[in-house]
């Protein structure tokens, strides 16, 4: 589980004017959606939030401390200004540590495939998979080694090792990465095959 810890205050006021005032003072308005469905308006330091959540994924569990009470949450939605990228609002969703959850895990490929070095073309059509597990078993990110992929070979969801207690929800036959023949190569192979067949005839 992540060690990201954010301090927040229970926000007593709401509305666009209040939100603008908070942002001018260097704070971000947000909402914490609790396990029972109850929502708690809050605000937090902008610099602390940006620094603390840099590089996290949708499956990163963040700890938010509000008025002395700690909550394990996902950062579900971060609204940003389209002009300067500054954070405008954040939504947190609380999780229960003893309750199985379903989440999407980001995947990153690593390595230079053998097939690419031989002229093939790498495609990565899938960047995340969905799993089900307890929060303590939830991976933040999965790394897939593609260095041994040859031309015409692929890695499927079923090939990705998951930790104990993690159940795969995404279809197992979906392709994560593949190395294709370079454009025109397959057609050339077929043409050569046809020519050979004509000679033998």
Report the predicted TM-score, pTM, of the whole model to 2 decimal places. 0.75
Task: Give mean pLDDT, residues 14-38.
Answer: 88
Q: What is the predicted pLDDT for the residue at 183?
A: 78
Q: What is the predicted pLDDT for the residue at 68?
A: 85
Which residues in the chain belong to E strands, given as ranges? Answer: 5-10, 27-33, 39-45, 62-66, 69-80, 87-94, 101-110, 121-123, 128-133, 141-145, 154-156, 167-168, 175-180
Q: Is the pLDDT of residue 185 over 90?
A: no
Residues 6+ apart with CB under 8 A from 82: none
**Taking Cα atoms as reference points, which of 53, 59, 66, 56 lies closest to residue 139?**
59
Q: What is the predicted pLDDT for the residue at 186?
A: 54
**For 40-56, what is each residue's pLDDT tens digit?**
999 999 999 999 999 88
Q: How far is CA 68 from the centre of its chain?
A: 30
Least confident range of 108-122, 132-146, 186-200: 186-200
Task: Give mean pLDDT, residues 153-181.
Answer: 94
Q: How confident is the model at residue 93 (pLDDT cuts 50, 70, 90)?
A: very high
Task: Give mean pLDDT, residues 161-183.
Answer: 93
Query: β-strand 39-45 against 5-10: which pairing, if any?
Result: antiparallel
């Amino acid at each position: 589980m992540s060690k990201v810890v954010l301090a927040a205050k229970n926000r007593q006021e709401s509305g666009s004017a209040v939100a603008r005032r908070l942002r001018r003072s260097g704070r971000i308005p947000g909402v914490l959606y609790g396990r029972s469905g109850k929502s708690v308006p809050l605000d937090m330091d902008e610099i602390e939030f940006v620094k603390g959540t840099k590089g996290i994924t949708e499956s990163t569990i963040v700890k938010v401390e509000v008025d002395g009470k700690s909550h394990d949450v996902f950062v579900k939605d971060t609204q940003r200004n389209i002009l300067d990228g500054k954070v405008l609002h954040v939504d947190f969703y609380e999780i229960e540590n003893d309750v199985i959850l379903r989440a999407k895990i980001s995947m990153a490929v690593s390595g230079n495939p053998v097939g690419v070095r031989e002229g093939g073309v790498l495609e990565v059509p899938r960047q995340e998979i969905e799993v089900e597990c307890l929060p303590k078993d939830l991976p933040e990110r999965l790394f897939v080694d593609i260095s041994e992929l040859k031309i015409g070979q692929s890695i499927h969801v079923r090939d990705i090792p998951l930790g104990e207690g993690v159940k795969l929800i995404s279809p197992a036959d979906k392709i994560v990465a593949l190395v294709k023949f370079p454009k025109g190569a397959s057609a050339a192979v077929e043409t050569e095959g046809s020519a050979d067949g004509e000679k033998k005839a």
